[in-house]
Every structure is written in structure tokens, then in C-alpha cells.
Amino acid sequence: MAQLTFKTNIKCGGCIATVKPHLDQLEGVKSWSVDTASAEKKLTVETEKTEASAIINTLAKAGYKAEIL
């Protein structure tokens, strides 16, 4: 299993609620969390096979930006 970390513009619980259905539907994603207290608003994703680009594209569709750290 791989752990991917991203810098995002997800700022609050409302933002997390917006991206939740998008990230939850990605095949291969086992778990994810966002540290909104960090300056980089770190999104950490535990995945078996999902590519970083798929996560970035999924967040873009939800209206958020992400870049791999």
C-alpha cells in the first residue's frame, strides 16, 4: 500500500464534506485525511493502486487544487 501526500486548498470541514464523495468513490483508495491545521492543508491518501494524477483530477472536479508533496 502506498501513502500519497498533497498540498491542497482544502480549508475547513465544509471543504472536506465537499470532497468526501469524490475521494470515497476512487477505486483503490483505502483511507484519506486532511490536516487543515497545517499551512499546506495536507491531504494524505492511503491507496493500493490509485495514481496521484487521478487524485489531483478528482479534486479539481470538486473545485479544489492539489499538488503532490
pLDDT, tens digit (0-9, with 9 covering 90-100), for 3-58? 999 999 999 999 999 999 999 999 999 999 999 999 999 999 999 988 999 999 99
**pLDDT computed for residue 50 by the predictor:** 85
Residue of 2, 6, 11 whose CA lies nearest to 42: 6
Confidence bin at 1 (pLDDT 50/70/90)? confident
- Tell me which H or E stretch contains 16: helix 13-24
Taken in order of first residue, the domains within the chain and their CATH numbers are 2-68 (3.30.70.100)
